[in-house]
Amino acid sequence: METMLAAVLHDFNDLRLEQVPRPKPAAPGTVVVRVKSCGICGTDYKAVKGVRTNVTFPAIVGHEPSGIIAEVGPGVIHFKEGDEIICQPMGYCGVCEHCRASNTHYCMHGFVTGGDGQDDVWPGAFAEYMCTTENSLFLKPAGLSFDAAALTEPLSGAWKGVVQYSEMRVGDDVVIIGAGSMGLLCQMVAKAAGAAQMIAIDPSPYARQQALALGATHAIDPVGEDAKSRVYEIIPGGPDLIIEAAGPIEAVKLMSSLRRRGTRWNVFGITTHETFELDGGLTHFLEGRMDASFGTTPLAMSRAIRLMDSGLVDTEKIISHRFPLSEIHQALKVMGGEERTKVIVNP
């Protein structure tokens, strides 16, 4: 039996590097990918640390991979061994009512490789090899590095939330709460889409510096400053669009407080089940629009690849650390610190 190295999560805070059986593409339409790069998402880190509890053990997490096709299963016709590819983590059937409405991330028969959002979880990409389906693959442009390509899924989520769902328009004044990797990707998408004033809000000096370096016109410290007063000093008429890309419930509450009439706002970053209050009458008369966005779709993945291939977004700019799979524990330690942006694992 062929084996491979994988980071296997046996329980919260119990991640072990082990030799496990290498997957085989036995089912029709499946392929085995030799993982070259995989980003560490905050949800992966939360799964390891027990903050995200919907994990069935043992598990191999990691859902932002790029790699090379190592083996194809029966019925695979569009890809071949040796193709350099990008993986969409959410697999889908293509025939249920949600898939046929283009909402493949709602698929009634779908799965997710190493991530969250579906009940059927396949082993993910913190491993030398992973198995997925042909319709979850995209060819990697030749000029795109594997590390940059591994960030296609989070970039696609940023495009889906900022452009497709919240319908950002050229000249919009945009506030992005949270300047971690997802906030920075949202910012890069907003810049490419023609944002006017673009304000990043984050308590970390490191994160604010990164935001300014990547095109934010202003960066606000919500701890040392009155964030609402500062936003309205910069944008007296109030923001056209607010994206919450931070995660804590306090960020959602801040977003709600920043609204003016007609503001579009997107609950993008929070994934934990916490509550916040809305003044019903105020919300009615403000006549804004709240959106939320999770996961990705083939359309969003295709758009993200186009953004990178055209040079409109350079995802390499947010990569702060790279580690071999054998050093994944050190990579997770870095994830727990403040001075990091995107951490990449190279199996």
Q: Give pTM, 2 decimals.
A: 0.96
Judged against a pLDDT cut of 90, whether residue 52 lies above it is answered with: no
pLDDT of residue 273: 87
pLDDT of residue 1: 80
Judged against a pLDDT cut of 90, whether residue 178 lies above it is answered with: yes
Q: Helix %, strand %, coil % for the chain, to 5?
A: 30, 25, 45
| Axis-axis angle for helices 227-234, 249-257 (nearest 10) | 40
Question: What is the rounded average pLDDT for all residues in the chain?
Answer: 96
The closest of 337, 336, 330 to 345, measured between CA atoms, is: 330
pLDDT in tens, 103-162: 999 999 999 999 988 889 999 999 999 999 999 999 999 999 999 999 999 999 999 999
* Number of H-type helices and E-type strands within the chain: 11, 18
Q: Within 13 Å and on the Cβ side, how many CA atoms surround 231?
A: 27
Q: Name which CATH class applies to 3-150+314-346.
A: alpha beta
Alpha-helix residue ranges (DSSP H) falling in the chain:
42-49, 97-100, 146-149, 152-159, 181-192, 205-213, 227-234, 249-257, 280-286, 298-309, 328-335
pLDDT of residue 109: 95
The string of DSSP codes covering 82-113 is: T-EEEE-SEE--S-SHHHHTT-GGG-TT-EEE
pLDDT in tens, 70-99: 999 999 999 999 999 999 999 999 999 999
Task: Assign 319 a pLDDT band (cuts: 50, 70, 90).
Answer: very high
Task: Copy the structure tokens of residue 150.
Answer: 């591994």
Which CATH number among 3.30.420.40, 3.40.50.300, 3.40.50.720, 2.60.40.10 corresponds to the domain 157-292?
3.40.50.720
Evaluated on CA atoms 233, 239, 244, 245, the torsion sign reads: negative
| Axis-axis angle for helices 298-309, 152-159 (nearest 10) | 110
Average pLDDT over residues 303-316: 98
d(CA 198, CA 72): 45
Cross-strand pairs, 65? 38
Judged against a pLDDT cut of 90, whether residue 299 lies above it is answered with: yes
pLDDT of residue 272: 81
- Residue ranges per domain, the chain? 3-150+314-346, 157-292
Task: Copy the structure tokens of residue 31.
Answer: 């392929």
Place of tokens 């442009």: 141
